[in-house]
Structures are given as C-alpha cells and as structure tokens.
Amino acid sequence: MIRTNRITVIEKEPTTNNFTIDEQIISQKRISIGSDHTGFKMKNILIKYLGERGFQLNDEGTFDEKSCDYLDFAKAVALKVATGNADFGIILDATGIPSSITANKIKGIRAATCYNAFSAKSAREHNDANVLVLGAKSLGEETIKTIIEVWFSTNFAGGRHQRRLDKISSIENEKD
C-alpha cells in the first residue's frame, strides 16, 4: 500500500486459484449463493469457479440483470444457512454492506463483508463467519477469488474467540 497526498493506492493482491483444503472437505461444503442485479455477472463467474473446485452450489437468484432488491436474495441465502440447508452463504451486491446488514438480521447468521484476504481470514478465524458478503462493484474478480480462497481455507480458531461468539449469541437471544 502506498500513500500519496491523502490518496491511498492499494496494489492488487495475488491469487493462487488453488484451495489448500482437501477434496473431501470441499465436497461437504454446501454453498447457497445469491446476488442482486449488480452482482449477477460476478455471481455467475463464482458459480463456475466454485463448481469447478467441487463445491455444491444452490443459486438463490437473481437470474438476470433487471433491477431488484438486494434484501430478497440476502435473506434467502441467510435462511438456507440458518436452517442448515447450506454450510456457508455467499451474497453479492454493489458494496456488500446492505446485504450484510440484511443477512445479520437472521438468527444464527454471522455475515461479514470482506474486502481483502486479511478481512476474510479474520472473519473466519476469529468470528466463525458463515456468510461471505462481497461488493461486486467495489472489488475486482481476482480480489474476490483471493478472498474466497482464504475464506474456505481458514477454520475457526475457537478459544477466546468462542467466548466472544457466546456473548454475541447472548445478545442475539435477548431480542426474542
């Protein structure tokens, strides 16, 4: 990263396009994926990319580039994960922010908007995030693929992080 007169230039992160988890684990990962119209093209790229690597994918829509509401697809993906019909979710909209807010309204969902490899690793390792949210208009294809590689190569660390997740669950249960 280079800083010049209040402008930050972020260099492209390299991607290996290889997953470091074994094939049996990959085949057990059921992914629910969805997007609004702004993420439609990238969603289709990711469906192909992940499918070629053995992941089981369920496309929650949208199925074209007509303007639609991100929250319908964010909710659909989050519900699949929350009910155990998917192990993980991936949601794409323009920035990732509104879909993350929506998905996190569903009990049991820990959706994280990730914007680089570090945020993806931290979301999985420290927060046991189960829904990855990406900004299709704010991130390039190679960065998104790198984020996905790190996401699916990182396990929850447990330990002190489990204690923190337990506190989050307590807050979530206070809503009821």
- How big is the chain by its Cα radius of gyration, in Å? 16
Q: Do 104 and 96 form a contact (C-beta atoms < 8 A)? A: no
The contacts found for 25-28 with CB under 8 angstroms, 24 or more apart, are: 26/53, 26/54, 26/55, 26/152, 27/54, 27/55, 27/56, 28/87
Query: What string of DSSP letters covers 92-161?
Result: EESSSHHHHHHHTTSTT--EEE--SHHHHHHHHHHH---EEEEETTTS-HHHHHHHHHHHHH-----THH
Q: Which of 126, 138, 161, 165 is catalytic?
A: 126
Residue 140 identity (one-letter amino acid): G
Per DSSP, the three-state class of 6 is coil
Report how far residue 124's alpha carbon sits from residue 80's, in angstroms, rounded to the nearest whole number. Answer: 19
Respond yes or no: is residue 126 known to be catalytic.
yes
List the catalytic residues: 126
